[in-house]
Structure 1
Amino acid sequence: MEKKVINKPKERPIYLIGDSDHIDLPEFNVFDLACRIDTGAATSALHCHNVELHTINGKPAISFMLLDPEHPSYQNKKYYSFEFFEKVIKNSFGQTEKRYSIKTTVVLFGKKFKTEITLADREKMKFPLLLGRKLLRRGFLVDVRQKDLSYRLKYQNFINLP
């Protein structure tokens, strides 16, 4: 009798994350950016301004500036992306709006995750970055009683965080 081989699903780590944390965006040279974890949001959203469409060497591109001049990580720099698309998003007030979405790398718990982030006006929000379900479903378990778990892990050998 022949034995059946059952393929087990690849085990992936599960990261416990709190209701807020700090994240790295290495492609934009932004590190320890405060973010809110939002299981109610499908997509992640990053605060930016001066969003413009361009054609560069015959290819469509988008430019934008991250954060506000008052933010400590503001670089007064225009960023460009060729990997973007427009999508309709329902905001927290239930209204639909068109936003541009880019693909970029984020770093949490020392691991790199390629993800989609919409470019949004979050000027009046406490956190310039919102992390949504499309990223969280890649192995994150949310405990709203916690915060800064990735940030603490990153610096645990350097400083004592409360």
Structure 2
Amino acid sequence: MDKKIIGRKEKITLPELGLNLVWAKIDTGAYTSSLHAEEIREIELNGKPVLTFQILMPSHQKFTGKTLTFEKFRKKKVKNSFGHAEERYLIETKIQLAGETYRAEFTLTDRSSMKNSILLGRKILRGRFLVDVSQTNLGKSHRHKK
């Protein structure tokens, strides 16, 4: 399969989260992708554990305004940007990038102090994309034609 070339930042869509064409930073130093989330809570609903959270896009100054609920989730130990291990919740959701749609894993963390709300790590990129660090939004030329 030919790999598509993407830039250091790309516009992605996360349809199950209600996010359409939002900026994500491509982070080849990170293995797992991460997403800014707040009010992250594990609660019981109808006798089953569920994960609820809200997503806020600091770079867009936009709050999606809804609480998202995931029945399928797990915890994962990850190293944060300072090299410290921490446990984060991990969800799987649909992602659209450069004309492709597939399922991908994201850890949830408070990225309000960071410039980018979404990081795409190597696990999503591997086997699909090459990164041209001198460019941004190259994926738009690969979008599905309507």
**Runs of 4+ more than 2 Å apart:** 68-73, 151-155
The CA deviation at 1:69 is 7.6
1:109 aligned partner, one-letter code: A
**2:86 matched residue in structure 1:** 97
What SS is found at the alignment partner of 1:134?
A: helix
**Structure 1: unaligned runs, 5 residues or longer:** 1-11, 158-162
* Larger strand percent: 2
**2:71 matched residue in structure 1:** 82
The CA deviation at 1:146 is 1.2
Query: May I ask how many residue pairs the two structures share in their alignment?
Result: 145
Greater C-alpha Rg: 1
The CA deviation at 1:62 is 0.1
Cα–Cα, structure 1 residues 78 and 69, in superposed 2: closer, same or farther, change >3 Å? farther
The structure showing larger relative contact order (alpha-carbon pairs under 8 Å, at least 6 residues apart) is: 2
Does the CA-based 8 Å contact 2:18-2:64 persist in structure 1? no
The CA deviation at 1:154 is 3.9
The share of aligned pairs that are identical, in percent, is 41
**1:41 matched residue in structure 2:** 30
The CA deviation at 1:101 is 0.4
Cα–Cα, structure 1 residues 28 and 70, in superposed 2: closer, same or farther, change >3 Å? same
**1:115 matched residue in structure 2:** 104
TM-score, normalized by length of structure 1? 0.82
Does the CA-based 8 Å contact 1:47-1:128 persist in structure 2? yes
**2:48 matched residue in structure 1:** 59
The CA deviation at 1:122 is 0.7
**Structure 2: unaligned runs, 5 residues or longer:** none
**1:3 matched residue in structure 2:** none
Distance in 1 separating the partners of 2:2 and 2:54: 34
Does the CA-based 8 Å contact 2:51-2:73 persist in structure 1? yes
Distance in 2 separating the partners of 1:132 and 1:34: 14
Does the CA-based 8 Å contact 1:32-1:151 persist in structure 2? no
Distance in 2 separating the partners of 1:147 and 1:29: 23
The CA deviation at 1:152 is 4.9
Does the CA-based 8 Å contact 1:23-1:108 persist in structure 2? yes
